[in-house]
A and B are shown apart, each in its own frame.
Chain A
Amino acid sequence: GDSVTQTEGLVTLTEGLPVMLNCTYQSTYSPFLFWYVQHLNEAPKLLLKSFTDNKRPEHQGFHATLHKSSSSFHLQKSSAQLSDSALYYCALSDRNTGYQNFYFGKGTSLTVIP
Chain B
Amino acid sequence: EAAVTQSPRNKVTVTGGNVTLSCRQTNSHNYMYWYRQDTGHGLRLIHYSYGAGNLQIGDVPDGYKATRTTQEDFFLLLELASPSQTSLYFCASSDNWGGGDTQYFGPGTRLLVL
Could you tell me which residues of chain A, from 78 to 104, have a CB within 8 Å of some CB in chain B? 89, 93-98, 100-102, 104
Q: 0/1 per residue, B91-114, Cβ < 8 Å to A? A: 000001111111111111000000
How far is A9 from B108 in the complex, measured between Cα atoms in Å?
22
Contact of B41 among A49, A97, A102, A106 (CB under 8 A): A106
Contact B43 A43 (CB under 8 A): no
How far is A52 from B107 in the complex, measured between Cα atoms in Å?
30
How far is A93 from B92 in the complex, measured between Cα atoms in Å?
15
Does A46 touch B at the CB level, under 8 Å? Answer: yes
Chain B, interface residues (CB within 8 Å), range: 20 to 34
Q: 0/1 per residue, B77-94, Cβ < 8 Å to A? A: 000000000000010000
Contact B42 A43 (CB under 8 A): no
Contact A95 B108 (CB under 8 A): no
Asked whether A32 and B43 contact (CB < 8 A) given A43-B90, A43-B105, A100-B58, the answer is no
Q: 0/1 per residue, A23-62, Cβ < 8 Å to B? A: 0000000001010100000111110011010000000000
Asked whether A106 and B42 contact (CB < 8 A) given A43-B105, A49-B102, the answer is yes
Contact A93 B101 (CB under 8 A): yes
How far is A107 from B48 in the complex, measured between Cα atoms in Å?
21
Q: From residue B59, how far is it (CB to closest CB) to chain A in Å?
A: 8
Complex contacts, A102 vs chain B, CB 8 Å: 33, 45, 97-98, 103
Complex contacts, A52 vs chain B, CB 8 Å: 100
Can you identify 10 A-B contacts, CB atoms within 8 angstroms?
Answer: A45-B104, A45-B105, A46-B102, A93-B98, A93-B99, A97-B96, A101-B98, A102-B97, A105-B42, A106-B41
* Beyond A97-B96, A100-B45, A106-B42, 16 additional pairs, beta carbon < 8 A: A43-B106, A43-B107, A43-B108, A44-B43, A45-B104, A45-B105, A46-B102, A49-B102, A52-B100, A93-B101, A97-B98, A98-B97, A100-B58, A102-B98, A104-B42, A107-B43
